[in-house]
Amino acid sequence: MYSKTLSLRFPKNIVNEPIVVNLVTKFDLTFNILKATVYPRKEGFMVMELSGRRKNYHKGVRYLKDLGIKVESIGQDIRRNEEMCFQCGACTAVCTTNALYIKRPEMEVIFDRDKCSACELCVAACPAQAMKAKFDKSLLE
């Protein structure tokens, strides 16, 4: 099961469309709406957790973007459990921002949280499951 928390900004011309229903029926996704502000004939805003098979999730997000909805991943904080990490370096191969890198000559995996974009690629790549994404609910306030 793949899950992410997203912010959605709807153009005013589609706020009356059954978008969330289509995510469920067409893409077999589940959702949890955390916050929503939708008015007729005005831009809509929604924060939701969207879950399902990874392939279906990506198809669903593509559907949203094709409708003109601005989709952003929000509220993720990536953490590394130092006790679980066995320094294999698998995460460094997928880190696009170099927040995870190997310090040489020690061959130690370093995690620079300031460089992290919270893309979650390291979470999927970590065989020890030492990398975790945590949702920050304070961003909803």
Q: Grade residue 133 by pLDDT with cuts at 50, 70 and 90.
A: confident
pLDDT of 75-106, one tens digit each? 567 889 999 999 999 999 998 889 999 999 99
CATH architecture of the domain 77-140 equals 2-Layer Sandwich (3.30)
- The beta strands (E) that lie in the chain are given as 2-10, 30-37, 44-52, 70-73, 76-80, 100-103, 108-111, 131-135
| CATH match for 2-73 among 3.40.50.300, 3.30.70.260, 3.90.1580.10, 3.40.50.1820 | 3.30.70.260
pLDDT of 10-67, one tens digit each? 888 887 889 999 999 999 999 998 888 888 778 888 888 899 998 999 999 999 999 9
What's the whole-model pTM score?
A: 0.57
For residue 138, give both structure tokens. 């304070």
Q: Do domains 2-73 and 77-140 have the same CATH topology?
A: yes
The C-alpha atoms of residue 57 and residue 63 are separated, in whole angstroms, by: 10
Question: Domain spans of the chain?
Answer: 2-73, 77-140
